Structure 1
Amino acid sequence: MASPDLLSLVAVHTDRLVATTRGLDDVAAPSLCEGWTRGHVASHVARNADGLVRLVRSAVDGTRDTMYGSREERNADIEAGAARSASELADDLERSAEALAPELARLHPEHADHPLERTPGDIRGRAADIPLMRVRELTWHHVDLDAGFGFADLEPELLALFLEDEVARLRDLDDAPDVTLRSSEGDEWTVGVGTAEVSGDRAALLGWLARGLTDGVTADPLPRLPAGR
């Protein structure tokens, strides 16, 4: 399967997330992120765009900016914006995304290996990961709004890419379960020795790996995923 055009997908899923957010009838309702309302989720995605702007400028301009000043600062910024109206949250998502779009276009192959510093001293990933990071934030947190959008609504090529990425992440964890994943589309992935079997369509498998969702997943018993993966 061909690699997806991530910048195009950023634009598409920004529009979809903004539309869903603008139509929310209760931003204070719980989201699928434990302890967060829908307002927290939307506020986070907007501040994520701001943070990614800083990471692009670090990679391209050598500013040495970090994504967030600290974990505490990140959390405070999310909390500060969480109680706004649906319209205000959607406007914030739009404005922050509009600032990020031209920055993403400045990333070129020569910037690919620049390390990403999330908070001072916390280096994870490289600049080549930034477009996929943004698509993941837009889509997974769209699911987290619990407002009608699900992993089954992802483009097939994006769904496949996320699954490959999540399996790779799981394989890197020391406490990963020994599991074989089988999709109804014909995929198979093995983690460890593959003792347990988990099956479902690609969307259901991603829902389990990414968010611990069990709808559409079959296993007896269902293996326990590592906490904080």
Structure 2
Amino acid sequence: MTADLSPLDHLPAATTALLATAAEMDDLAAPSLCGGWSRAHVLSHLARNADGLMRLVRAAGGSGETMYDSAQSRDADIEAGAARSRDFILADLGGTARAVDEALAGLSGDLGGTRVERTPGGPSFHARNLPFMRLREVVYHHVDLDAGPAFGDLPDDLVAPFLADEITRLRGAPHVPGLTIRTTEGDAWAVGDGSADVTGTRAGVLAWLARGIPDGIDQDNPPTLPEGR
């Protein structure tokens, strides 16, 4: 982000844009850009993500909740939601999106250093990261609907922090490939031993790192990215 913009500055507009796209889609059974998921799955996931983040806002205040009860319950809830009617899915999406935006806006700065958990005993992170996590979910999955913006349509002040986040996640992945990632805008990052060069626009590199879409980078056969990064 630019120095004077936080995730919460972007989140209301990103949420509004997502809801507008969803409302215009007639066929929620159509495939999304997330392998194995329909558009209905993506929207159901976003609703359950909102619920989970609201649990973490409460956890930062001492409730002891985790984002999800388990990975299995998360997946089951998404599947159940995706099977419901279009009207239910859209109402669920809209209600939870507005509720989580409000909850995140009210998250006290004093609680930002509190560590919260994804699942009981699972990965933990600081509550201050929750607004960025929600913004990333909304923006990325809006693209995944394949009915609105692509990564190339995102403004620079969104692309830049998402790129930095993807580089950090890649560096922390197991079996990370050796890469030097360069953008035509002049950025450069070394990952691992930096042995293979990958070049593209910022948006193109983001699409590759975030979703494995190689269209915006120069290589015909780009290196394989690790799963679960």
TM-score for both structures, normalised by structure 1: 0.94
Alignment of 1:187-198 (within 5 A): 187-198=187-198
Corresponding residue for residue 20 of structure 1 = 21
1:48 and 2:60 aligned: no
8 Å Cα contact 1:22-1:87 kept in structure 2: no
State the 1:111 CA deviation.
1.2
Aligned to 1:152: 152
User: Following superposition, which runs of at least 4 residues in structure 1 exceed 4 angstroms of deviation?
Assistant: none
| Preserved CA contact (<8 Å) 1:70 1:119 | yes
Partner of 2:73 in structure 1? 73
Specify the alignment match of 1:37 in structure 2: 38
Aligned partner letter, 2:175: D
Structure 2 residue 63 is the aligned partner of structure 1 residue 63 = yes
Matches within 5 A, 1:1-229: 1-2=2-3, 4-60=5-61, 62-219=62-219, 221-229=221-229
Comparing 84-93 with 136-145, greater Cα deviation is found at: 84-93
Give the superposition deviation at 1:114: 1.2
Aligned partners of 2:151 and 2:207 also within 8 Å: yes
Q: Percent same amino acid among aligned pairs?
A: 51
Change (3 A) 1:151 1:195: same
CA RMSD of aligned residues (A): 1.5
Deviation at 1:80, TM superposition (A): 1.2
**How big is the shift at 1:3?**
5.2
Where do 5+ consecutive residues of structure 2 fail to align? none
Find the aligned partners of 1:90 and 1:153 in 2 and give their Cα distance: 24
Q: Is the 8 A contact 2:116 2:125 kept in 1?
A: yes
Matched residue SS, 1:176: coil
| Deviation, structure 1 residue 85 | 4.3
CA distance in 2, matches of 1:124, 1:3: 27
Q: Distance in 2 between the 1:220 and 1:95 partners?
A: 43
* Offset of residue 49 of structure 1: 0.5
Counterpart CA distance in 1 for 2:4 and 2:154 is: 14
Measured in 1, the distance between the counterparts of 2:36 and 2:191 equals: 30
- The amino acid across from 2:41 in the alignment is H
**Cα deviation code 1:38-58 (max 9, x no counterpart):** 100001001111110000011
After superposition, what is the alpha-carbon deviation per residue over 1:88-121, rounded to whole angstroms, capped at 9, x for unaligned?
3222211002221221122233212211211111
Q: Distance in 2 between matches of 1:85 and 1:202?
A: 38
The 3-state SS of whatever aligns with 1:113 is coil
Q: Which runs of 5+ in 1 are unaligned?
A: none
Residue identity opposite 1:122 in structure 2: G
What amino acid does structure 1 have at the position aligned with 2:121? Answer: G
User: Which stretch has the larger CA shift, 86-95 or 217-226?
Assistant: 86-95
1:228–1:174 distance in 2 versus 1, CA, 3 Å: closer
* AA at the equivalent of 1:203: A
CA contact 1:27–1:86 (8 Å) conserved in 2: yes
Query: Which amino acid is 2:56 matched to?
Result: L
CA apart distance, 1:183: 0.9
Determine helix, strand or coil for the equivalent of 2:190: strand
Per the alignment, in what secondary structure is the counterpart of residue 198 of structure 1? strand
- Return closer, same or farther for 1:152/1:94 CA change in 2, 3 Å cut-off: same
Q: Report the Cα offset of residue 86 of structure 1.
A: 4.0
